[in-house]
């Protein structure tokens, strides 16, 4: 309750700024088929306040953002060059290094980032495409934030010019999770001897942790096509966003050991052998990538859909979604929690599929305020 009141006070301070910038009125919620999703949760959540403000510009095919708490720094991966950029206090960009062996081909290159401080060392994890595979490496971040030499965490993931997955995130259990696409071979997704078409769970050094559902395997869930978003809710439940083929994009509640159906199923099937998505969208309205959870709301960045989806899940597990900023900023690749009760959004219009504007690609910042019923 106190947290929600604090957010509302901060919102009131900046509301005049939002008005001057021209508040964006959300478009009507898209129809999600099949119908029957609950209305917007009445137990609270966060919504964007006003229009986003530009934090940084001039990024080249950015893919992932990650924030360090101490020092207060944001790092961004650039897919094609393999570079990691640091956002400076003035809003400029400073390259802290380039991840070795990155090979850009189509959707491949330097993809997801994650950060871990193990008590003595700060590590930057990276998901990269090389000449022979997709792999996960980690590098030390020195006091000057320069990248150290890469240490191998996982190698040998099949790669292609599409469907590489690539999102990395540490869960509340301290384990590293990774989304791995089917690399264009649909048979991978149902094959438990392959790590492609899966969500993986591993220790910070790449070992199989206790509690994984399959013996001696990093696989956490399977039957995925090209998942690119990971986020945990307040109860520690994992959720993921996933690209469909031509009909349905998905928002999934991830349960260990479960089959999410690809390539036998796209979207909801109503077949007990597979887990149906909690929400699904036409691929024209989503093509989802980055996913984050802030104060009761999931925020999902959409590429082809060129919008930010705000998703709320009620106590019964029913979900609803509302779009923001449709068509205003082009393709949206990532969304993370920013400082001072804000959401940071990463555009991706320079990836060869967008229509870049002079400042692209950009990091945008929008303040969040409590939804109706929050508190």
The two most distant CA atoms of the chain are separated, in Å, by 58
The pair of structure tokens assigned to 79 is 């897919």
Nearest to 197 by CA among 277, 107, 259: 259
The contacts found for 232-236 with CB under 8 angstroms, 24 or more apart, are: 232/171, 232/172, 232/293, 233/293, 233/298, 233/313, 234/293, 234/296, 236/171, 236/172, 236/173
For residues 219 and 266, is the Cβ–Cβ distance under 8 A? no
For residues 267 and 244, is the Cβ–Cβ distance under 8 A? yes
Which residue bears the tokens 């229509």?
355
Give me the pLDDT at residue 11, please: 37
Residue 277 CB coordination number (10 Å): 26
Q: CA 49, CA 239: separation in Å to the nearest integer?
A: 25
Give me the pLDDT at residue 44, please: 67
Omega into 263 within 30° of 0, i.e. cis? yes
Tell me the Cα Rg of the chain: 19
- Residue spans of alpha helices (H) in the chain: 2-21
- Classified as helix, coil or strand, 8 is helix
- CATH homologous superfamily for the domain 2-370: TolB, C-terminal domain (2.120.10.30)
- pLDDT tens track, the chain, 375 positions: 344 433 333 333 333 333 333 333 333 333 343 333 333 333 469 999 999 999 999 999 999 999 998 788 999 999 999 999 999 878 899 999 999 999 999 999 999 999 999 999 999 999 999 999 999 999 999 988 999 999 999 999 999 999 999 999 999 999 999 999 999 999 999 999 999 999 999 999 999 999 999 999 999 999 999 999 999 999 999 999 999 999 999 999 999 999 999 999 999 999 999 999 999 999 999 999 999 999 999 999 999 999 999 999 999 999 999 999 999 999 999 999 998 889 999 999 999 999 999 999 999 999 999 965 433
Q: How many helices and strands (H and E) does the chain possess? A: 1, 24
Give me the pLDDT at residue 328, please: 98
Angstrom CA distances, 23 to 50, 110, 320, 324, 364, stand at 4, 35, 22, 11, 15
Q: Produce one character per residue of 133-157: b if its CB has 16 or more CB atoms within 10 Å, e if not.
A: ebbbbbbebeeebebeebeebbeeb
Give me the pLDDT at residue 1, please: 39
Give me the pLDDT at residue 21, please: 34
For residues 190 and 260, is the Cβ–Cβ distance under 8 A? no
Q: CA 126, CA 147: separation in Å to the nearest integer?
A: 11
Give me the pLDDT at residue 4, please: 41
Q: CA 104, CA 99: separation in Å to the nearest integer?
A: 12
- Classified as helix, coil or strand, 193 is coil
Give me the pLDDT at residue 371, please: 63
3-state helix, strand, coil in the chain (%, to 5): 5, 40, 50
The pair of structure tokens assigned to 120 is 């003595």
Dump the DSSP string for 136-191: EEEEEB-TT--B---EEEEEEE---SS-----EEE-TTS-EEEEE--TT-GGGGG-
Q: Which residues contact 157 (CB under 8 A, 6 or more apart)?
A: 133, 134, 135, 180, 183, 195, 196
């Amino acid at each position: 309750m106190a947290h929600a009141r604090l957010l509302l006070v901060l919102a009131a301070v900046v509301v005049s700024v939002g008005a001057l910038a021209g508040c964006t009125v959300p478009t009507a919620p898209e129809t999600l088929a099949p119908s029957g999703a609950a209305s917007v949760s009445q137990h609270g959540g966060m919504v964007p306040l006003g229009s986003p403000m530009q934090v940084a510009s001039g990024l080249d095919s950015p893919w992932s953002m990650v924030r360090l708490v101490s020092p207060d720094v944001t790092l961004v991966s650039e897919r094609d060059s393999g570079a990691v950029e640091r956002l400076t206090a003035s809003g400029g960009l400073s390259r802290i290094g380039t991840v070795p062996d990155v090979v850009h081909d189509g959707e491949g290159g330097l993809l997801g980032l994650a950060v871990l401080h193990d008590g003595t060392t700060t590590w930057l994890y990276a998901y990269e495409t090389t000449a022979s595979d997709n792999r996960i490496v980690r590098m030390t971040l020195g006091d000057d934030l320069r990248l150290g030499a890469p240490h191998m965490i996982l190698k040998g993931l099949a790669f292609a010019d599409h469907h590489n997955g690539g999102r990395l995130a540490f869960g509340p259990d301290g384990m590293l999770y990774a989304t791995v696409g089917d690399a264009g071979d649909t048979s991978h997704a149902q094959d438990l001897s392959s790590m492609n078409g899966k969500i993986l769970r591993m220790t910070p050094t790449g070992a199989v942790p206790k509690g994984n559902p399959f013996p001696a395997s990093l696989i956490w869930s399977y039957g995925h096509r090209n998942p690119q978003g990971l986020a945990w809710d307040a109860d520690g439940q994992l959720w993921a966003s996933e690209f469909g083929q031509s009909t349905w994009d998905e928002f999934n509640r991830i349960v260990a050991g479960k089959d999410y159906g690809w390539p036998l199923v796209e979207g909801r099937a109503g077949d007990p052998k597979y887990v149906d998505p909690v929400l699904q969208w036409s691929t024209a309205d989503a093509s989802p990538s980055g996913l984050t959870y802030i104060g009761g709301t999931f925020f999902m960045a959409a590429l082809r859909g060129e919008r930010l989806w705000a998703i709320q899940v009620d106590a019964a597990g029913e979900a609803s979604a509302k779009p923001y900023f449709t068509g205003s900023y082009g393709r949206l690749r990532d969304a993370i929690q920013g400082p001072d009760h804000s959401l940071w959004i990463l555009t991706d219009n320079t990836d060869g599929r967008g229509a870049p504007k002079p400042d692209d690609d950009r990091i945008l910042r929008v303040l969040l305020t409590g939804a109706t019923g929050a508190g």
